[in-house]
Structure 1
């Protein structure tokens, strides 16, 4: 039976005082396997050998050499699956608030240790470890499923794009005087490449998101600039198209809600902009990230713009400005719904002959720190 709870519950206790180590082991050894270390260096040596079976680390703060705070920071970085508990005297609490606030500590135990407090805290810590382990197993299963789906989708899409390109190369221009075959082939190729880009972008964002969640402190949060950079790395831009795109970061911010879905919205809007620029002499696409007063990402192109009567209906009715190139008219409606589900919205600014700007508006998160660039 493959149950995480069936595995041995093991913790590592670190204290330079031998009597403290013996007292702690005697207090909890009936319920847990206890490994002991008398210094931070000895604890790291044990972790390098047995980190896979250690679920909880309990360390004293005041120790010769490297103190418990340094040990906690290293363990948080190298072994994020381990739940970390700090033991300290009451006089040290104020000094250690910063360590606690940065997420490096699950709980604090005050000296002198009380057996009931130790047992209660350890029970919560092992429950936390179990929850994380179960979540990680679910995420791995999702990751593997998405990888399979991405492969199954990309294989026929790549074949469609290749066959469409072959049709373009072999079509006799004289026989196809009105360009219907070439137009259809190009539309098929562009649509297949766009779908591959969406699949790739979604797979990468979900995969990276899973890897970030394996770090329980979630220090590598998604940012607006990071999502744009990932998009430009994965979208199948030609060298010429890549030269059209510029990114300006006035102030970066964290994308807290559904960053994977926001990545899909950015991919869809980039596709729309590239289609609009197909016949423009000096095409340009600019992403602008602004943190305040309200967080937003603007995608601006210098294309032909959108007539007012169409613009007024783009977020409510299934109409499209790209019907001839395979557009189905649902893209912007869905993009707006995604942004609304994130607590924000989509805003379109456009005039005929004056280009188009689509703004992704995000909710202002209380206490959110903006990153100036």
Structure 2
């Protein structure tokens, strides 16, 4: 394998190498030759050299095995620094019998995870390296999972804030418009408010539209508050059916004018959804909102946003999965945009507050559930977005 190929492979594998540290050059060569048939072995002749290797290739190193007795800085000192700077690295110490009391002290202080005595027993050393490698990779996976969850939480909170801000900004706009139209009552009309209408019914429309948006914002916040409470009782969360989720969006989403009539559904092929209601509710609201906004500028004679529950394969060769699909009969999505959706923030509505984060957020949620999202469209033929749930019941 060429050097550049090796670097690519290491990048894909993550932490997997063994770093052996000993100030005796022959000991390093012997270790690399003996255990190199099973492990990727790196060597260093001192604590400083080991730290230099870690600074350059720390993401590759899963296990550090070091001799105790070395000039300048001993092995325990090295492992103590590694514990602080590279917490994913498993730490093993090689010591002579005379160093045993010191080594046990290092174990008790948490600097060292295991001690191997000189001379090294090959079978015991191999098994110790296997165990340490597995433990390191498990720690790395746990850390990556925590980081992904933290990133998902940040994105979720940011997207939720955006979704709540949008209807509240509309409410503020309607209230400002009514405030501007307010007319002070005359002397004989004390106690009666007067708001001038520019056309019949527009004040009532603003009040009702503001109320719908306030209720929608409140439903988003309430859902996430309930989820925070349920987190302390994970076994009490009820099963969520896909049909119930669609019905919740139908009842709670703040459609304008007669746009609620655009929404149709086919819920016969129902199933139980994996995951929590809050994120899935926000995902489905996002898809319905995108479809409505696509239709709004130039609606066809019979605008339609159709939500259907179905079972199909996401792509040829893949197994059939439960899915929620949102279709619209709008203008479709340009080909140059279609392939980039869900992968990066793209919006054609930046002038009206669009951030392009909607489908990116949806993809993140579906990936966290082990599912996927597929966007299909042809210019002039509308668009469909399918949410696939391989683990749905």
Taking structure 1 as the reference length, the TM-score comes to 0.45
Asked which structure has the greater CA Rg, the reply is 2
